A and B are shown apart, each in its own frame.
Chain A
Amino acid sequence: MSIDGRLPQRQLSQASLGSRRGAVMAFSEADTCLDIQGLSLAYAGKPALKDLTLRIPRHRVTAFIGPSGCGKSTLLRALNRLHDLNEDVSRRGSIYLDGHDIHDSRVAVSELRRRVGMVFQAPNPFPMSIYDNVAFGLRLQGGLSKRRIDDVVEWALKSAALWEEVKGRLRASAWSLSGGQQQRLVIARTLAVEPEVLLLDEPASALDPISTLKIEELIRTLKPHLTLVLVTHNMQQAARVSDYTAFLHNGELVEYGPTDTLFTHPRLRRTENYITGRMVG
């Protein structure tokens, strides 16, 4: 996504490509943004992800669902190498971003994380002003003029549908905002560094219903410009906003396919049990 609004409008080809599990995917190799190949992760020897293979389409919303502890958040964090911080994590398999291995030793992790932005479950604005929060990532890169930063901050806040609410008090502390506003501020902060992928880890689970709706609305408006990956506990939310859904259980990918298909005609019994609420996490 870029500030100038020149968004690549690509036609999705309808070529069907099966995943390893045999799900029928409605996007081509060229439209694959993230390609996860045989990924296994273990925390201190305990396996958390087991040999996952799936492809995530560009400029679509992909949701990961599954009971708590199924590994969906772990998978999400693997996509921008946030696990690097934890020395107890061991990994096998690879992840490709636009065909390039993100674990390649030549990759600068900080740049990868800029390109693959992330929004967390609890809103985590820094204890600074609203403006400084949004400008944080820009200032890291250095060499930007004050004017330019002003412009980007305004654009990012507009993109996150927060501008109208905060434009008069950009210098106020970010912690003075409500929970929903804080979460949108975090999204704005992430958008400001122009990511290509946005990872959302249960972004609305800590919010009230109205704020949740606003966030979902925002996801829909961002979709044409960004690849979004959403982890959620909320079946309805997955059904409402995602194009593709992956169901994980015990660190394994159980079923992956277009959301409509998965929710209406799940192929596997386990999936059906989960989405109809018969399997409790």
Chain B
Amino acid sequence: MKIPGHTAVGSKTLRRPHEGPWAWLAAASVALSVLMLGALIVLLSVKGLANFWPSTLHEVILDDGDTVIGVPFEQRTLPGGEGVERRYWIANRDDGGGIWRWLSVPRLASDQTPDDLVVLERRHWGTFFGRLVAVRLEGERLTGEAAWLAMEQRLKELDALRQARQQLTRDDILPLIRRMEREPSSSETQHRLDDRQLQALQARAKELRRLQQGGVLVLENSQGQRQEQPLEEVLDAWRPNAMAWYEKLGHWGGELWQFLSEGPRDANTAGGVWPAIFGTILMVLLMSVLVTPFGVLAAVYLNEVAHQGRLTRLVRIGVRNLAGVPSIVYGVFGLGVFVYGIGGSIDRWFFDSSLPSPTFGTGGLLWASLTLALLTLPVVIVATEEGLSRIPLHQREGALALGATRFETLTRVVLPMAMPAMLTGLILAVARAAGEVAPLMLVGVAKLAPQVPVDGEFPFLHLERKFMHLGYHIYDAAFHSSDVQAAMPLVYATALLLVVVILVLNLTAIFMRHYLRKRHGAPVRR
């Protein structure tokens, strides 16, 4: 059809018009966002997990005859076309030089990976790269392969001894000392008995300590210099170049396990993160215990009891918006009110004797959990309210019509139906709390607290103690350690661990919500 006196407006072809460049840029922004997320996760995974892989040791000889043993880390092009430089991790902090060395690639005369290179994990001075020349053990001097076998055997023994001694100290000696300190006025005979027991235990510990001594390794570094290394200082030893892939895999698993189960060493640049894992979990658990009842209570009040007027609507918006208030503000509140206010008062009333050193008047597990509970309260309230409001009115009426009171309707019908929503809210709250660091810097994490806040001593759970936290551990190791480069692999691994925990929690919440929507989508066939 044509309008008389008008020429046609458009062409008559049926091809779809083109969307133009903006649409493509929009599409690219989705892809770019996903790409960034993926890149971040891949980077963390690769760097975090590669840390535990026994990397191949290279022995390179420079054109001036200098020999270096190390692991190549990265490579960069020098400005102005001056060639390529490669950075090696050469360890051996006790040799005086740094643990890193940049080598000019064109100057490398030879690059080999001999099988007899060893890596030693030592309690002091960090990692050692070099060769094992001999082992002196109980007057015998062993060389060659026999030395290696003897050392491995001895390391196993040492590990067992170390553990026995640790256990003795932790389970027997420390509790006894604490008890004696707490009750110094108990009867004389009791006191003597305790004393004798303590002496016996300490003698046993000393014996275990003595058994660890003896045994010296003769090592040779890249320069061919010999040095002696007491065996008891060595934690682990391996020959990466001589390992088959399955041995490497086993070693990798062992290292990973150590990372997860041991405490940090060397000012947080080596060792594991077990206290941080434990601290994070404990704090999050405490927080859940605190936030769930109060969050649900507030949501039930807002949704079921309060008069649904203008005021309630305002309060609801207010609560929703609290989720957007920066976490540091909660930290400030926690420090001012919980730590200085309530904690200070508790100290004045109950721990007067130990003042001025604060007991509860300083950051600690309890205050951190409370602060995070406050921080995540809006999350739980909003999720629970959403769940409650999603329950159809006719379900409530059905219960009421059977003679249930409002409270009975709530506990027997409404709350069970809202349970998945509440759980979703709680999981999201836990995920948020696990990743929060800023408020914790104010109310209670510690740089290094090898003692976990739970032990066999009354009252078992020490709410006033400081604790370690994965997130803070990342911040601390990355910014406050003496050698950031050395700490990096561990920071990567810790970050990966934190991200994995949080992603798993979030995925659980997402699947739960999905399942919930599906189930509530078609409850009754009509």
Contact = CB atoms under 8 A, between A and B. Distances in A.
Name the residue among B399, B403, B404, B413 with the largest chain A CB count within 10 angstroms. B403
B382 to A, nearest CB: 23
B405 A126 contact: no
A189 B395 CA distance: 13
B400 A126 contact: no
Interface string B63-84: 0000000000000000000000
Nearest to B522: A175
A122 B524 contact: yes
Contact of B524 (A85, A124, A193): A124
Interface string A129-169: 00000001100110000000000000000000000000000
Name the residue among A80, A113, A206 with the largest chain B CB count within 10 angstroms. A113
Interface residues of B, number: 22
Name the residue among A121, A127, A190 with the largest chain B CB count within 10 angstroms. A127
A189 B400 CA distance: 12
A121 B524 CA distance: 12
A111 B403 contact: yes
Contacts of A82: 397, 400-401
A113 B394 contact: no
B417 interface: yes
B402 interface: yes
A114 B524 contact: no
Nearest to B523: A175
A141 B412 CA distance: 13
B193 to A, nearest CB: 57
A113 B401 CA distance: 5
Name the residue among B307, B402, B524 with the largest chain A CB count within 10 angstroms. B402
A152 B526 CA distance: 28
B525 A179 contact: yes
A127 to B, nearest CB: 6
Contacts, number: 74
A56 interface: no
Nearest to A109: B405
Contact of A126 (B395, B403, B408): B395
Main SS class of interface, B: helix
A120 B397 CA distance: 9
A125 B399 CA distance: 9
A85 B525 CA distance: 27
Nearest to A117: B401
A190 B402 contact: yes
Interface in A177-212: 178-179, 182, 186, 189-190, 193, 206
Interface in B320-358: none
B397 A114 contact: no
A190 B398 CA distance: 9
Contacts of B523: 127, 175
B402 A136 contact: yes
A190 B401 contact: yes
A66 interface: no
A276 to B, nearest CB: 29
A123 interface: yes
Nearest to B413: A126
Contacts of B408: 110, 140
Contact of A178 (B394, B413, B525): B525
Nearest to A182: B524
A219 B524 CA distance: 22
Contacts of B4: none
Contact of A206 (B392, B397, B403, B526): B526
Nearest to B395: A124
Contact of B399 (A111, A136, A178, A179): A136
B394 A193 contact: no
Contacts of B524: 122-124, 175, 179, 182
A140 B417 CA distance: 18
Contacts of A206: 526
A65 B400 CA distance: 25
A228 to B, nearest CB: 15
A122 B399 CA distance: 14
B307 A124 contact: no
Interface of B: 307, 392, 394-395, 397-405, 408, 412-413, 416-417, 523-526
25 contacts: A82-B401, A87-B307, A110-B403, A110-B405, A113-B401, A113-B402, A113-B403, A117-B402, A120-B394, A120-B397, A122-B524, A124-B392, A124-B394, A124-B524, A126-B395, A126-B398, A127-B523, A136-B404, A136-B412, A137-B403, A137-B404, A175-B523, A175-B524, A179-B524, A190-B401
Interface of A: 80, 82, 85, 87, 109-111, 113-114, 117-118, 120-127, 136-137, 140-141, 175, 178-179, 182, 186, 189-190, 193, 206
